[in-house]
Structure 1
């Protein structure tokens, strides 16, 4: 893969992949925060959104630190799948219904 394609794929992993991970982590974090700390929904969502910015920045940095663009996308995919499963388990539980 030439240099321009390598940078383009890593940039897409940083922007699109980071955004996907940011969104799913804010969903799952809002649910977890509301349950663990007994916060109102609005405050839990606000706190989860602020925490998810760190996740976005982390994936933007990791996209360019990975040894290859394929590994950058693999990391995004693994994080997204794990957080999606966590969110699905949290939502399916009767205790954590919003």
Structure 2
């Protein structure tokens, strides 16, 4: 990914983007003529499967929600999910790694 806007987690077990962080990322992307295409976060010591909490938080159909499993402090693997248009759940999407 050419651009990533890191944020601090609200809590070690909960992922949330503060409104001011989201607005800052949108502004920076707009000024650089870039599109925000997704959001990623980790699941410490849990599989990278979209959880009910992830679904409750998700607000943007069309974005990729990439989740990385972190086991014993080390990233292991990632999976990506798309929020269904009616926001009823996620559908897994393929991650393609380019050059």
TM over 0.5: no
Q: Larger helix proportion, structure 1 or 2?
A: 1
Q: Give the TM-score of the pair, scaled to structure 2.
A: 0.25
**Bigger relative contact order, structure 1 or 2 (CA pairs below 8 A, ≥6 apart):** 1
Q: Give the TM-score of the pair, scaled to structure 1.
A: 0.26
Q: Larger strand proportion, structure 1 or 2?
A: 2
